[in-house]
Amino acid sequence: MRVLLTTWGSRGDVEPLAGLAVALREAGAQARVCAPPDEEFVELLARAGVESVPLGPPVRSVVVGKRPTAQDAFRLAPALVAARFDTLTPAAADCDVLLATGLMPAGARDVAEKLGIPYVLACFHTLGLPSRHSRPGARPGTPSPEGETDNRTLWKQDADRVDALYGDALNSHRAAIGLPPVSGVRDHVLTERPWLAADATLCPAQGMTDLDVVQTGAWLLPDERPLPEGLEAFLDAGEPPVYVGFGSMAAYAPDGIARTAVEAARAHGRRVVLARGWAELAPIDDAADCFAVGEVNQQALFRRVAAVVHHGGAGTTTAAARAGAPQAVVPLIADQPYWAARVAELGIGAAHDRRTPTADSLAAVLGSALSPVVRARAAVVAGTVRTDGAAVAAKLLIEEAGKGGTSVRT
């Protein structure tokens, strides 16, 4: 059995597919991953022993150096549609099922349709899933009228924005391979039964969307790498430090966030492990209380820190929760406000509001996260975070493959 997995997005979109690919291999299936050609993603998949195929432009080329504009989005969307038709068609030719995730994967279902194999859409949060109980997230395009409050109307307008971004390109490529046009790109991509690859404690699906969601649990990639010797020595030299990292938020990380975070940690007498990330965070001075790291085993590191200060990505939130590390979340874009709110609601950390943090405001949030009550609660919740999500999804995906192309749902 052969499975094609595909995504286009940040580390948080790629690593779960590596975890699923490993689980599929353990279940006796062969998995191939089509993902952005960023060097670190290629290395990640290679480390997991997963066959990879480059898809689309590097993500770094889009998000590093400037904040993407609406014009950028309207150029990127049709380019990604074309890349999916061009790349996924040969990559899926010998496969029995195709699973897509990441940035609106328009084109993936259509390739599966042409090849006559099942298609599954997976997501790592519920932000983009239509719901009568909540508003859609922001998306490039014509904004909804000011004062509009009806959620059904707002989600219809969200669908119109997706059509404006992807519709012409998608239907042009469908026509080129002999498929009829589709109306409503968003719902076509999502299907009526998307999969939610998120932990049920951290991101419960019930009541969050009108769709019939299949929640598998988070897809975790086991990481047995030792921590670097220098980091081990730093950790052993004193009390547990505070970890600070903003992942791929190069264009969105607040100016001076490294200084802000270091000063906030020092206000509590804490040392700092500073993750460089795409924002290239760096120590603010030569003091011995700060250690900078690059790529590192978060699963091992988070078990040894006093708290995790981060942007609220799904992957980092889950890794910290699983490790029992209290969290101080500074949400920036997309699903991050949801994760920040959920961390606070569960009592496993504290959330900064959407304004730019200062040393004082972040120190206050960090102080809450460092409290004994929060640490105790984080330890309890850690025991509820399931680690078998990838295995659950692998079993379901193998079952989908056995159904044939008719299992694609409209």
Task: With H, G, I as helix, E, B as strand and everything else as coil, classify residue 123.
Answer: strand
Burial class of residue 147 (count of CB atoms within 10 Å of its CB; 0-12, 13-18, 19+): exposed
- Binned at pLDDT 50, 70 and 90, residue 324 comes out as very high
Give the start-to-end residue ranges of the domains of the chain: 2-220+388-407, 229-382
Helix axes 11-26, 39-47, angle to 10 degrees: 20
Rounded distance, CA 45 to CA 127, Å? 27
Rounded distance, CA 282 to CA 267, Å? 19
Percent residues over pLDDT 90 in the chain: 94
Tell me if 10 sits within 8 A of 103, measured CB to CB.
no
Alpha helix stretches (DSSP H) within 92-150: 108-115
Tell me if 111 sits within 8 A of 3, measured CB to CB.
no
CATH number of 229-382: 3.40.50.2000
* Torsion on CA atoms 278, 126, 199, 280, rounded to nearest 10: 10
Q: Is the pLDDT of residue 74 over 60?
A: yes
Tell me if 308 sits within 8 A of 335, measured CB to CB.
no
- Binned at pLDDT 50, 70 and 90, residue 250 comes out as confident
Tens digits of per-residue pLDDT, 76-110? 999 999 999 999 999 999 999 999 999 999 999 99
Tell me if 112 sits within 8 A of 405, measured CB to CB.
yes
Q: Is the pLDDT of residue 248 over 80?
A: yes
The pLDDT of 126-149, averaged and rounded, is 94
Q: Is the pLDDT of residue 71 over 90?
A: yes
Sign of the C-alpha dihedral computed for residues 16, 22, 26 and 32 taken in this order? positive
Q: Give the global pTM.
A: 0.96
- Binned at pLDDT 50, 70 and 90, residue 207 comes out as confident
pLDDT computed for residue 20 by the predictor = 98
Average pLDDT of the chain is 96
Sign of the C-alpha dihedral computed for residues 371, 373, 375 and 381 taken in this order? negative
Rounded distance, CA 387 to CA 384, Å? 9
pLDDT computed for residue 354 by the predictor = 80
pLDDT computed for residue 244 by the predictor = 98
Q: Is the pLDDT of residue 297 over 60?
A: yes
**Type of residue at 221:** L
The pLDDT of 206-227, averaged and rounded, is 96
Tell me if 104 sits within 8 A of 186, measured CB to CB.
yes
From 339, 340, 327, 329, select the one nearest 375 (Cα to Cα).
327
Token digits of residue 115: 């090849």
Query: What spatial distance separates the first Cα and last Cα of the chain, rounded to whole Å?
Result: 25
Tell me if 293 sits within 8 A of 227, measured CB to CB.
no
From 118, 136, 113, select the one nearest 182 (Cα to Cα).
113
Percent residues over pLDDT 70 in the chain: 99
pLDDT computed for residue 408 by the predictor = 46
pLDDT computed for residue 410 by the predictor = 35
Q: Residue 257 CA to chain centroid, in angstroms?
A: 21
- Binned at pLDDT 50, 70 and 90, residue 333 comes out as very high
- Binned at pLDDT 50, 70 and 90, residue 36 comes out as very high
Tens digits of per-residue pLDDT, 271-288? 999 999 999 999 999 999
Q: Can you tell me which residue has the tokens 């299907």?
A: 191
The two domains 2-220+388-407 and 229-382 share their CATH topology (first three levels equal): yes
- Binned at pLDDT 50, 70 and 90, residue 196 comes out as very high
Tens digits of per-residue pLDDT, 379-410? 999 999 999 999 999 999 999 998 876 444 33
Round the CA-based radius of gyration of the chain to a whole number and report it: 21
Tell me if 382 sits within 8 A of 302, measured CB to CB.
no
Token digits of residue 407: 């299992």
Kindly state the helix (H) or strand (E) to which residue 292 belongs, with its residue range: strand 290-293
Kindly state the helix (H) or strand (E) to which residue 374 belongs, with its residue range: helix 372-382
> What CATH fold (topology level) applies to the domain 2-220+388-407?
Rossmann fold (3.40.50)
Angle formed at CA 220 by CA 2 and CA 396, multiple of 5 degrees:
40
Instruction: For residue 290, report the phi and psi dihedrals to the nearest 5 degrees.
Output: -130, 130
Tens digits of per-residue pLDDT, 158-191? 999 999 999 999 999 999 999 999 999 999 999 9
Q: Can you tell me which residue has the tokens 């949400």?
A: 331
- Binned at pLDDT 50, 70 and 90, residue 66 comes out as confident
